[in-house]
Every structure is written in C-alpha cells, then in structure tokens.
Chains A and B, each alone.
Chain A
Amino acid sequence: MGEAIRGDNGPAPFRVVIVGGGTAGWMSAAAIRRQLDPKDYSVTLIESDEIGTVGVGEATLPHIKIFNDMLGIDEAHFMRETRATFKLGIQFRDWDQPGDCYIHPFGAFGEPWGGVEFQHHWLKAQREGRSKFPLEDYSYSVVAARNNAFEFPNEDSKSIRSTYSYAYHFDAGLYAAYLRSWAVQRGVRRIEGQVCDVSRHPTTGDVVDLTLKSGEHVAGDLFIDCSGFRSLLLGKVMGVAWQDWTHWLPCNRALAVPCQRVGALTPYTRSTARSAGWIWRIPLQHRTGNGYIYSGQFIDDGEACDTLLAGLDGAAQGEPRLLRFSPGRREQAWRGNCVAIGLASGFLEPLESTSIYLIQAAVTDLIALMPRPRSAGVDPRLVNEFNRLNDMQYERIRDFLILHYTANRRVGEPLWDYARSMPLPDSLVHKLQLFRSRAALPSHQYGLFARDSWLAVFVGQGIAATGYDRLADAFPLSTLDERLSEFRTRIQTNVDAMPSHDAFIANYAPAMEITNAEAAVA
C-alpha cells in the first residue's frame, strides 16, 4: 500500500488559519501540529501583541494533563515555566450560606459497597445515628487539600491513594507563551498582525482570505476563530447568533488583580461567595490570582473593586482590570469553514474551571472531524456532529454551574434571592429532584461532570436527600460501622504521611526566578 497512501510530493497542504493567540489559539495550533501531518495541513496563527488576552482560565481540570501528555510536554518543565501549582479541587466558601465551606475535589467519596454507591451508605449511617462525620471526611483528596498536602496519585487501583486526580493552577499567559514556543518550533507559522478585512466566497459564503493591517493577505481553507469575546469570524463575519444565558447565570463582569503570595500554597482554588457574585483565589508559585465575578445589576464597579481589594491576602500588584462578558454561547460553534474555539464560541464563568477544558474538548473533536486535505469545501455532516458534541459539553457544564447559584440559603441578598427563585432548565430540575428524593446522581457517559462532582456540590450546597437507595438497606449496619470507621482512618493515616504542597513543588518543579530569589536571600 506504500506510496499510494500519501503522495509525498502531492499538492499543497490544507491551510488552517487561526485568528487570535491566547490559550485557545495556541492550544489549537499545538494540538493540530502534533496530531496532523505537516505535509497535509499547514497551520498559521495570526495574533497581535496590541490585543490583550483574557486568560481567565488560570485554574484547570485534570484533563489538561492528557493534553500536555499528548504534546509530549515534560510536566516539571511546564510547571516551572508557567509558575504552576497543583490543584486537588475547589474550595467553596460561604456559598450555601455565610460561614459554610466545602471542597469539590477531583476524587471519589468513599467506595461502593455491596454494589451500592457510597453516599447511600453514608446517608443511612447518618439517618441511623451511626456516624456523625461529614461526607468530606471520606474523600482522600478533600482531606489532603485541607491539609495543604500533595503527592502524585498511586497507580495501584487498590490503594486509597489512587482515588483522586489532579490539575494545575498556572499563569495562562505563560502557558500560551509556552505552547507558542512549542508550536512555532514545530512549524506553526506565527504572524504578528491584526485582521482588518475578511473576504468571502461569493456563493458559499466561506471565508477565503484575511487582510491584515499591514496589507498582507492570509488565505486559508479552514479558519479557527480564537479571537475571544469579539468573535471576529464566527460572530461578526458569519453572523452566528448569540444565545444568552444571563437569566441562569447572572454574572456579567469581572475585576481581576494579582496579589503578593502570602502563606502556604493551597492545593486548591478558592471561590468565595459575595453579595453580588463570587471571588476567585488562584495560588501560583510567584503570586496569587484574584478576581471578583459579579452581576453589574446588583453592584457597581467601584464597590466591587473595594470588596475585591479588601479581601486580598497579600498586597495588590497593580490596579484591578475590568472585563465585561455575557454568559451563553453561539448557536453553532462551526459554520461554513469557520470554527470558533474558546471565548469566541461561548462563555461560561470560571466557577468550575471549565474554560480550558472546553477548548481542549473542542480542539480534540475538531481534529477528529477536520476536513481531509484536498477535500472540496467543508462536509456539513462533520459540522453537524461537531456542533452536537459542543452543545452537549456546554449544556452539561451550564447545568452544573447553575446548581451552585440556585441552591443557596443567602436570604436577603438580591442576587442570591433571584438565583433561588429563577426558572431552571428541565435537565437540571430532574437532577435536583432525583437527588432530593433518593440521593441519586446524574449519570452520563460523555462530557462533564462525573457523579462524585455532583455529589460534592449537592451536599456542599446544603441540598438534603430525604431518602437513599433501598439496596443500601440490604447491607448490615454493624458492617457499615466498621467499614466507615476503617475507611476514614485509612484516609487520615495516608494523608498524614503526605508531603506539604509547598515542599512537593519546591522539590519537583520550582520556578526559576523564585529559586534564584531564595538563593539571593540565603
């Protein structure tokens, strides 16, 4: 079959043109360069140093490791370069009501016994007065996070230390730069410039070429719109309508400011609910990222700024930067020969660190459904499948985010009062009813989030399950007591032996300038 499979001296490659750098642009460029043959596909990325990137995605989900591994990136090197820390989950403070605190971990709660999921056993033990310990005590990753401890998960699936995974906090600007250098070294053509005109095919409407401010023309076969909120190609040129989700996710502004790093490195992102939204805290090696995501309807920018600055745990580094956005998404992420990835296709607030995950999912699907080299035009059947998968991802994450808002007891604060009473998507109503009635968790095979994530947030947001699975009643109470007690002790013993997150990073992937600074002090 040899030479017939690919004409090595065949026609010119299929031209993929990416508009916009930033995380979306460079993740797309790197993934395509890594996975597709350069003889078949050329990749050009146009970005302008004059246009800032949003970089809201400084906290990630464990899937990012699959992406980095796919590129063959060395983890310690990448962590040093992006000032990264490890992340075992997200801590939610004051979300259910002021004073409450829970962690949504990247890990399991307990383990199934007798074929019955753990939460049923736990609920039964509570109901019968056999255990007073909170659910979180049965999650290895929650206990480790509370202890500011970190180590890599164990690969032996029988070990309690295999019951979690991890993600990173990193500087998204540095990550984009890291990927840029990776991609450019491997043949991605980077053009510094701004798109000022777009020419389209007179009959198909497909984009044919882009004119840059410099006068240069960039022609392509497929255009990836990574232009952020501006949605330059998909929104402005192709005219794909925006589907607004403000009625479910009312926050539409963010103020972001880094501050000096103080104290131990937490191996988790923190999200603290406030009167008109919530404040993120993302620990990096060299600084801490902070931001207040709020609804402009319930607070003005000045007051939001004061609230943010008053809550910092170190000195602010510069003035807070204001971002305006709308929650929602484009009705199709791919139309004609334009695919939007990242903020150009939609925006979901970073409450569950899904921005980079959505980029990764989209670029993975795009590569699998990418037009063949030398194909005439884009096959609409591939476009339909891409859009179907993209919709599924957005809607599932959307429901999970809405849950955090609607299940609250912050009575008397207008945003939270609204969130408790707003009409919900049917798909979320079912999930809430099932949990309330019998502690059942949503189960689907594709997309986010897994059952333990729903469990963490249902319980964390104070949703009481009135019943539990009847199958748990087949499990003897005395055995249950023993198992619960043993499991909890096993977690505690193992976590006690873990190194601290600070010590682990200092040993594994210290950022250079920090190491140097420490050396200078010494």
Chain B
Amino acid sequence: MNICQPLSRVVVLGSDVDLWLSVNAISRALGPAGVTVIAIELPTRLKPSDISATLPPLEAFHAKLGIKESSLIRATAGSFSFGQNFIAGSRAGRNPAFFHAWGAYGAPIDGSAFFPCWLKAARYGLKVSFQDFCLTAVAATNGRMLLPDEATTAFGRTDYGYHLQTMAYAGYLKSTAATLGVKIYQAQKGLVERDDSGSIAALILDGSLRIEGQLFVDATGPEAILIGQSLDVPSDCWRQYFSVDRVLSARAPAFTKTPPFAEIRITGGGWTALHPTPATTGVLHAYSSDCLSDEAALRSASAAANAQLADVSFHAVNTCVRSRVWDGNCVAVGGAACVLDPIHDVDSHALQLGLVHLLSVFPVTGQFAVERAEYNRVMRRSYERIRDFQCAFYALAPFDGNFWQQARGQAVPPALSHKIDTFRARGQIAPMEDETFLPDSWQAIFTGLGVTPESWPPTIDRIPPNRFKEEFHRTLEFIKGKVLEQPTHDGYLDTLGRSSAA
C-alpha cells in the first residue's frame, strides 16, 4: 500500500459489544469519508446473564451513531440507571448507605459551589445528607425517572446510564452495523500475517480466507488476540492497586418494581452488584481469591442478593493496561486495551473513550506515527484517571472484613494520593485533565465513604448562615416537588413499549 494515500480500509476483529460498537462508530463517522470497515466476528463470550451497566456519556454517543434510545431499550429489555446505591451489609452495619448519582448535588449558593456550603453546615450540625440535595439521587431512590425540564436544567445536571441485556445489546449493534453496509465475516479464529515492516498485512480466517487491511482494530476483549497474542505488546500490571482478582456473574429474578439504579452491597469478602432490568437482575460478585473460595463467593453473593442465583460463572480479573494501546497498525479498544476493576461499571465507557479518541486522531494516510503517539498518550492518561477513581473507592472504604482490610493496604497512585490529600485538607477536587468522573462524583464517593474534609474555602464564610438555611430549604422543597412530578421507572418503561418477551 502507498502510505501517502488516504487510509481507507479498516478491519475490526473481535466479538460482542467491543466489536459492534467499534464497527458502528468507525463506519458511521468515516464511511461517508470513504473508509471501508470490515468486521470479523469471533464466537461470542457472552452469557445470557450478562448485563451491560453503562455510564451517562453513552447516550450522546449512541445519538451520534443514530441509535434511538426507545428502540434500544425495547430491543434489549433494558432500563435506566441514575446511579449506584451503596449498601453496607449487616456485617459492616455501622456504615450507612450512600448514593452515587449521575447528577448534580445541590446548586451554587450566592455564586459559591454547593459542596463547601454543605460541608460547613454539616460541621455545624446540619443532619441532611449530601445526597438528599441531589435531585437525581432522590428521584432514583424513590423509584422515579428524572425527565429534565427547564427547572431541572437550571438546577443542575441530571444524567443516566443504562442496564442493557448484553446479548441483546450486541445483537442490536450488529444489526445497525449491517444497515451501514459493513462487510461481516464470521470466524472461529484469526491469524495474523505480517509484512516486512512488522505491520499487520492481513488476517487469515480459519486457515483460509485472507482479509487485507491498512488499520486493524483489536476488539477481542482481554484475550487481546491481535495486540497481545500476535504483536506481543506487554501489559503494565495494575494488580498492586486492586484486591479484586475474581468475579462471579449470575442472574437473579427481576425485582417486582425495577429500581432505576445499580445497587452495590458490601460484604466482608467483597461486594455484590445488582443490575436490575425488567426481565432479570444481573448479579456480580467481586472478591479476592486470597480471601474467598468460589464456593464461599457463591454463598456470599446469594446472601447479598437474597435470591437464588442462576447461570453462575466465574472469571479471573487481571487488572492491567496495554503498554501501547496502539502499536504498529493495530489499535486495541475496550478490554483488549485495558482491563479495569469491575467497580463503577466503567467498561463500556472505557471502550467509548477509545473509539472517540480514535476518531479524533483517525489517520489521514498510512503515515500515522504522530497520531499513534498522541493516541497512546491520551488513552493512557484517560485510563489512569478512571483507575484512580476506582482505586479511591478501595483505598478509602471503611468496611469491615478481610477483603477490605486487604483493599485498604494496596498501593495508591501518586495522582490519587494528591487528590485525596487536597480533599482531606480543603474539600476541593484537584482538577486534572482527561477525567471521566466529574467533581460531583468524587465528592459523592469521598463523602459517602466517610472522608470529611478538615476545612473549606474561606470564601463561603462571607455568606450569612441564614442564606444557607434558605437555600437548603428551597432546594429540598424543589427536589420534593420535582420528584413527585416524575413517572415511576416502570411506568416510563411501559410508555416506551418495553418488550415483555425478553
């Protein structure tokens, strides 16, 4: 190929959501610019119990791909998620629950950020919790949707993610890819043929069919068939930061009323996440094999879910990041690029970030060393910021049990140490580039885990205490009124014409 010619042929190898979201994104954005996308689908790794819990930015990304929310929710028997409810179980009973919402907490008072105002008031005896000032959290914990209007927009951000049945979601993305005219091959196996420069020239499918390309996207998940197994790009291990090395996944019966949030139930040996959908509840139990056997994990997860679990499976989690997520002419996205801890449901977002950045530096021609270097820099930083947010949860978790003791003893990355120090000292979230999680999220997690800043910015001391009282009162009344106007989650799903067949 002539490296000065426009790069026009992209081959994506992989399976499931990693494959199909990549194919949709690249084809949709660059098809009209003359880029041909070829999808090679490997056998699925999904189980019927898998639920994709996603972060708020996916909605806008879907919109760019032309995916209609109502049709997606119907097709995947999906539901909405306004955040994560953390519950400390009986064994760790002293810790109250907290809600990490995908929305704004409070509204500025006389031009000052809400958080320090709340912090100061709490120091002087205010009993209302931080999350009670979050419209999104209050609506969610009351089983309501939060449909934004002018008043809520003026109040602050109210976002949501989804809980989607992963098999149906992957199938949905595959069908939209087909409508984009993407050429799809199925294979059991893809072998790499390299050219003299060491770049990938083609993939040989099942020992026969040869698929040439100029750029290859590895969407094969943690197996990393191209970037890892074929190109031998090593991974940088992140195990020193995390205790979780094993995950149980299963399903439990659906709730009678579908909660519009994920619930994380803390146990002594790890945590259990429930991802409700109208048809079924996805269950994840994350633990450390040092502390818990698989059998004990199953007992623990069943007890935490308080249900009979079905379709139980176990897999290892080896938290790590590829040292170069783009090597030669191979770009790894999703699990092939980075294996993140299961806390906070970040996988689909990490995949989305990889694709958004790939489109933003998509090679003009076959000469793309500059783009590759930039991509590697930006993605590394982006993954590290997500990792730090996850790491904060474990480093600060006040829960009882072997697992938590071990988790608290893990290494803390320097940027996170700085962030925690700044928060402890002043209640400020040290601003950093390429963050996935907004200050509201950091404050919710820090506060929820019981970290209390030792001071607040002195600027708020100029605001008279009765202004706080007035604004707190007004905000709580506003939230109460707004929540009562909202449809219930199930009611709203019905208006979307949810499928009962799923």
Contact = CB atoms under 8 A, between A and B. Distances in A.
B183 interface: no
B66 interface: no
Given A1-B125, A470-B33, A384 B457 contact: no
A41 B124 contact: no
B374 interface: yes
B428 interface: yes
Given A1-B124, A381-B424, A367 B457 contact: yes
B378 to A, nearest CB: 9
A370 B462 CA distance: 14
B418 A385 contact: yes
Contact of A379 (B120, B425, B457): B425
A115 B370 CA distance: 23
B422 interface: yes
A263 interface: no
B461 A473 contact: no
Contacts of B468: 1
Interface string A1-27: 110111000000000000000000000
Contact of A467 (B126, B359, B364, B458): B364
B364 A372 contact: no
B465 interface: yes
Interface in B361-410: 361-365, 367-368, 370-371, 373-374, 377
A307 interface: no
B124 A382 contact: no
B208 interface: no
Interface residues of B, number: 48
Given A37-B461, A470-B35, A1 B126 contact: yes
Given A1-B125, A388-B430, A381 B422 contact: yes
A520 B149 CA distance: 60
B32 A474 contact: yes
Contacts of B433: 444-446
Nearest to B124: A1
A375 interface: yes
B349 interface: no
B465 A1 contact: yes
A373 B458 CA distance: 8
B59 interface: no
Given A5-B124, A470-B362, A385 B34 contact: no
B418 A470 contact: no
B381 to A, nearest CB: 11
A49 to B, nearest CB: 32
B467 to A, nearest CB: 11
19 contacts: A1-B124, A37-B462, A41-B458, A384-B418, A384-B421, A385-B425, A430-B374, A433-B370, A434-B361, A437-B368, A437-B371, A438-B361, A438-B371, A440-B361, A446-B431, A470-B363, A471-B29, A471-B362, A474-B30
Interface of A: 1-2, 4-6, 35-37, 40-41, 115, 367-370, 372-373, 375, 379, 381-382, 384-385, 388-389, 430, 433-434, 436-438, 440, 444-446, 466-474
Interface of B: 6, 29-35, 64, 120-121, 124-126, 359-365, 367-368, 370-371, 373-374, 377, 418, 421-422, 424-426, 428, 430-431, 433, 454-455, 457-459, 461-462, 465, 468-469
